[in-house]
Amino acid sequence: MMLRVARILAGVKAALIDLFDTLVWSEWRVLRERFGEAIGVAPRVVSRAYEATYHLRQTGGYESPEAITAALVGACGLEPEPAFVRELTDLVADHLEHHVQLYEDALPALRGLREAGVRTAVVSNCDNFAGPLVERLGLAREVDEVVLSFRVGSRKPEPGIYRAALDALGAEPEGAVFVDDQPEYLDGAAALGIGTRYIRRGNEPWEGHHDPGDHVPITRLTALL
């Protein structure tokens, strides 16, 4: 097994790994439904609010989860009353606690990489709510670094977030691989010279916008080993 791992990972010193839909699965539809029901708007209105606040949320534009919730409520066309904001913030936190879980191959892959001497980092586009999630799932113990877009002020596919991860790991692009489920984010890493792995879970065909292009396709994280 170790000979096989050594062969596949030859020359790889660092692995940058996406969080959502790569290491963990999530039920975002359920969150939008719950949020919309709580404030009396349709889920599509909540989705538009998330889209409208996307950049600021994911690059640290809001100082706290409560500030994010207030912005979402405002983007839904409602007045963000403080008590209401606290209630909704708790709702989102509850969702992240009960409706986001690790894929079964996540920890075996991370531990296999560590055993092979590969330094690892979680690299995620996310907002202030994600910090506690990473801790709850125990990922901070399983990787060398956690690089979250709202903390570094840069989001995929911008070069800043990849460079922040490489710097944190003490790695160069040529000795690193990046794993993600979004081709656009893989393109951003490839532009810096980082090797890429396009993870597409399930049995969906590699066609149309799922075409891996120049990125190496995988269907499970343990394929890295």
Q: Residue 201 — very low, low, confident or very high, per pLDDT cuts 50/70/90?
A: confident
- What is the C-alpha radius of gyration for the chain, rounded to an integer number of angstroms? 18
Q: Are the C-beta atoms of residues 127 and 102 closer than 8 Å to each other?
A: no
* Residue 211 pLDDT greater than 70, yes or no: no
% of the chain with per-residue pLDDT over 70 = 92
* Residue 123 pLDDT greater than 70, yes or no: yes
pLDDT score recorded for residue 68: 98
Residue whose entry in the numeric block shows the structure tokens 């090797």: 195
Give pTM, 2 decimals: 0.91
> Which of 1-5, 26-30, 170-174 has the lowest average pLDDT?
1-5
Higher pLDDT, 77 or 203: 77
What mean pLDDT is predicted for residues 140-158? 98
Q: What is the dihedral of CA 125, 72, 48, 57, to 10 degrees?
A: -20
* Residue 3 pLDDT greater than 90, yes or no: no
CB proximity list for 8: less than 8 A, separation 6 or greater: 224, 225
Superfamily of domain 2-25+103-224: HAD superfamily/HAD-like (3.40.50.1000)
Rounded to whole angstroms, the Cα distance separating 88 from 103 reads 27
